Amino acid sequence: MTYRAVDVLKLADAIACEDTRRTGKLLKEFGIEGRLIGYHDHIEAEKAEEIGELLAAGASVALVSDAGTPGIADPGFRAVNKALELGAAVVPVPGPAAFVAALSVSGLPTDAVFFGGFLPSKKGERVRRLSESKEIPATLVFYETPHRIEQSLSDCLEVLGDRDAALARELTKIHEESLRGSLSELLERVRSEPPKGEMVLLIDRTAREPAAEGERDVASIYKDLLEKGAEPKKALKQAAKESGISRSEAYRRLHILD
């Protein structure tokens, strides 16, 4: 919570939220009293109208997510549009967004990013979505659930090729974890240690270049050199040379695999 967010909640005439009990606890923590309006997926259209009536009457309404930012894979779209239709001022109060937090520590390029929200739950629709995303020249970012992550990683590997990737879960919480590696490596990790909690899957824009015949993987070369006592910088330079890639590319791959 930021000081600004606390001030906004204190001044609002009503607070729309996904779960009134959860938001009630948050407000109590900051000594805030206010009218709460339940606003979740199943009643979003109906409650957007109620919020519109309050705005039309001159009231101010704050919109809160249980976690993350309203409207980003969370309810909020309809309320914002209703407010805009009425000519009301809609003001963003910056807060957390899981995909931004995950991206910042992923080690993947951030110059261009495609956020695709939750991947479809059905395999056919998921494969189509991935196929549509295959040629996008950006780091791909999706949300996924623990009971679907294994199948989704398998589909990603099949459709996109074995790209560098990262998997982040429970960000900013007690069991926060960020895994890095290729899609195939992450798939093996998930199969051996099924993760819990909703997660963010981040995928590089291109597949890894296959090693030429007789060419060893940079990570295995680097590891062997370190085990033989080589200094990290010299090992990096030698590993890049033997694997046929630039030193900067070798560093990027090894950093992603940390």
On whether both 202 and 222 belong to a single domain, the answer is no
Query: Which CATH number belongs to the domain containing residue 170 in this structure?
Result: 3.30.950.10
Q: Is residue 224 part of a domain?
A: yes
Strand locations in 30-189, DSSP E? 35-38, 61-64, 113-118, 139-144, 163-169, 177-182
Return the axis-axis angle of helices 232-243 and 218-227, rounded to nearest 10°. 140
Q: What is the pTM of this model?
A: 0.76
Mean local confidence (pLDDT), 170-177 = 89
Q: Name the residue range of residue 233's domain.
A: 218-256
Q: Using one digit for the tens of pLDDT, what is the confidence trace for 134-165?
A: 999 999 999 999 999 999 999 999 999 999 99
Question: Does the pLDDT of residue 189 top 70, yes or no?
Answer: yes
The reported pLDDT for the residue numbered 219 is 82
**Confidence at residue 257, expressed as pLDDT on a 0 to 100 scale:** 56
Last residue of a domain, one of 207, 230, 246: 207
- 37, 59, 85 — which closes off a domain? 85
pLDDT at 100 over 80: yes
Residue 215 pLDDT grade (very low, low, confident, very high; cuts 50, 70, 90): very low
Q: What is the pLDDT of residue 17?
A: 92
- Judge whether 197 lies within some domain: yes
Q: Please indicate, yes or no, whether residues 117 and 153 belong to a single structural domain of this protein.
A: yes
Q: Residue 112 in contact with residue 85, Cβ under 8 Å?
A: no
pLDDT in tens, 105-116: 999 999 999 999
Using the 3D structure, point to which of 85, 118, 137 is the last residue of a domain. 85
In a domain, 212, yes or no: no
Confidence of residue 214 (pLDDT cuts 50, 70, 90): very low
Give the number of domains in the chain.
Answer: 3
The CA-atom distances, in angstroms, between 76 and each of 39, 64, 219 are 8, 9, 44
